[in-house]
Chain A
Amino acid sequence: MLKIFGSFVLFLYNMVTRTERIRVLWNRFIEEATLIGVNSIFIVGIVSAFIGAVTCIQIAYNLTNPLIPKSTIGYMVREMTILELAPTITSIVLAGKVGSSIAGGLGTMRITEQISALEVMGINSTSYLVLPRILASMFMFPLLVILAMALSILGGYLAGTLSGVMAPQDYIEGIRTDFIPYNIVFALIKAVVFAFLVSGISAYKGYYTEGGALEVGAASTAAVTNSIIAILLADYVLAAVLL
């Protein structure tokens, strides 16, 4: 365990020493960021809208006490999605989407000797291949999380009003009650940390693939499971430290 952690740190260290020229890295960053954004926007949108909708319906189902105002439902949807569901669920979805594609892509490059080809040219392959992927993830995850927050709240609104459990004004009033801006900051910090974990772990798994196509598949799977575990652990630690 300690040995793996050590080699992971070394891997990250190699990535930031002897980097390529800024221009090259910038172009690679833009490429990767576009890829992550475009490929994930649809799934993140769908998942977060439905999570918002389901959260709203279920809270409404549990809140039968007439003394509690209906607007509480909107308030709770907002709190749950911003603090926990949007950053964490989005990151878990992205662990599946982005993590497996990073591990699979790098693994394939490794077994087909494309990484060796870069090294022979005298290019630092970790800095060229991995650094832009990690930075692009750390840039795109928070943006996707913001999108997820908005769509979850919208999903909740649509579910709540269309199913008739509450009036639109109630929901709007609810989501405007006692808003704490720091929660958004906290969620974005979480997104950046999760992005680093997902992309770093997946890149590490993919980069050190050995063998053939079978091992690339295994590396992808390991990347996703390890990323998800790391996200959940980090989620707990961040909540304990920052809240």
Chain B
Amino acid sequence: MIEISNLEKSFDGNQVLKGISCTLETGKCNLLLGGSGTGKSVLLSCVVGLMKPDLGSITFDGTVYTNSKVDIRQEIRRKIGMLFQGSALFDSMTVAKNVEFPLQMLTPDMSLEERRDRVEFCLKRVGLENAGNKMPSEISGGMKKRVGIARAIAPNCTYLFCDEPNSGLDPATSIKIDELIAEITHEYNITTAIITHDMNSVVGIGDHIIFLHQGKKLWDGNKEEILNAQVPELREFIFSSSLVRAAKRVEEEDGPQGLEHLAAEPLSEV
């Protein structure tokens, strides 16, 4: 469990995070939801330690991360896996080398064979067992995300962070990526945080949803609760999705099965 308390961050007087407190729960997909420019990426950067917050604290399973000693931070960092918005694969290395890289750097006592096995296992886990020898420039965007996930989970991470794992992907592929992340989260009981503005992800894998708006947390809850949330900004956000609007219309016309129908059925069929 990751506890974020009262986090603040400004850039040259422009306050981006205005005192955010929330918890990211273990074994669940924690969705950070919010419009463009609300500070989701900044929040995640602070949590993983790429940026230093001005104020507030972040605690990883009881260990304070902010302002602690280099050794402690290093210890926590090695348990973090991250999938970047643009995948951030090392483009001078093959796909397999990319996945092997964190193992090579972080677990030097692992034998060559164990490493190979682990790489093979991770690539298989994301459905890319045949792409190991390709270069990142030779694979599609969706495949890159999968490699990014494989690389993040290779060293048995305890915390997984994904910045918009399905941006720029077609709906079917993005649902597959979402499901992959959710499966991995539940299978290994890790703490996962996912940035998204995709309502498909929300109704699909939102175990715990945190809604951010202009640098503040306005709401949190799960995917069943979100459709009945009474926060105006959140309602505006949700119902700007035409799919949800259409379902809402169906609900109004045909009675209350519309939204539930949308949340449960068509997604799991794809």
Which positions in A face B, CB cutoff 8 Å?
Answer: 18, 20-21, 24, 108, 112-114, 116-117, 119-123
User: Which of these, B85, B89, B106, contacts A122 with CB under 8 Å?
Assistant: B106
Measured in the bound complex, the distance between the Cα atoms of B49 and A116 in whole Å is 10
Query: Do A113 and B74 touch across chains, with their CB atoms under 8 A apart?
Result: no
Measured in the bound complex, the distance between the Cα atoms of B74 and A113 in whole Å is 19
Min CB–CB distance A184 → chain B (angstroms) = 36
Query: Do A113 and B102 touch across chains, with their CB atoms under 8 A apart?
Result: no
The 10 tightest CB contacts between A and B, nearest first, are: A122-B77, A113-B88, A117-B88, A113-B84, A120-B82, A122-B78, A122-B74, A114-B88, A121-B102, A120-B48
Query: Do B86 and A112 touch across chains, with their CB atoms under 8 A apart?
Result: yes
Q: Count B-side interface residues using an 8 Å CB cutoff.
A: 21
Between-chain CB contacts (< 8 Å), 29 pairs:
A18-B70, A20-B105, A21-B108, A24-B104, A108-B91, A112-B91, A113-B84, A113-B86, A114-B89, A114-B91, A116-B50, A116-B84, A116-B88, A117-B88, A117-B90, A119-B49, A120-B48, A120-B49, A120-B77, A120-B80, A121-B77, A121-B78, A121-B80, A121-B102, A122-B77, A122-B78, A122-B80, A122-B106, A123-B105
Q: Which residues of chain A come closer than 8 Å to B105, judged between CB atoms?
A: 20, 24, 121, 123
Q: Which residues of chain A come closer than 8 Å to B82, judged between CB atoms?
A: 117, 120
Give the nearest-CB partner of A27 in chain B: B104
Q: Which residues of chain B come closer than 8 Å to A113, judged between CB atoms?
A: 84-86, 88
Give the nearest-CB partner of B83 in chain A: A117
Min CB–CB distance A229 → chain B (angstroms) = 30
Query: Do A119 and B50 touch across chains, with their CB atoms under 8 A apart?
Result: yes
Measured in the bound complex, the distance between the Cα atoms of B98 and A112 in whole Å is 15
Query: Do B91 and A120 touch across chains, with their CB atoms under 8 A apart?
Result: no
Measured in the bound complex, the distance between the Cα atoms of B86 and A113 in whole Å is 8
A114-B89, A122-B77, A122-B80 known; 5 new pairs, CB 8 Å cut-off, are A113-B84, A117-B84, A119-B50, A120-B77, A120-B80
Q: B52-89 vs A: 1/0 string, CB under 8 Å?
A: 00000000000000000010001001101010111011
Q: Which residues of chain A come closer than 8 Å to B104, judged between CB atoms?
A: 24
Min CB–CB distance A10 → chain B (angstroms) = 15
Q: Which residues of chain A come closer than 8 Å to B78, judged between CB atoms?
A: 121-122
Q: Which residues of chain B come closer than 8 Å to A20, judged between CB atoms?
A: 105
8 A Cβ contacts from B242-270 to A: none
8 A Cβ contacts from B75-125 to A: 77-78, 80, 82, 84-86, 88-91, 102, 104-106, 108
Min CB–CB distance B43 → chain A (angstroms) = 15
Measured in the bound complex, the distance between the Cα atoms of B84 and A119 in whole Å is 12
8 A Cβ contacts from B1-19 to A: none
Q: Which residues of chain B come closer than 8 Å to A119, judged between CB atoms?
A: 49-50
Give the nearest-CB partner of B45 in chain A: A116
Q: Which residues of chain A come closer than 8 Å to B74, judged between CB atoms?
A: 122
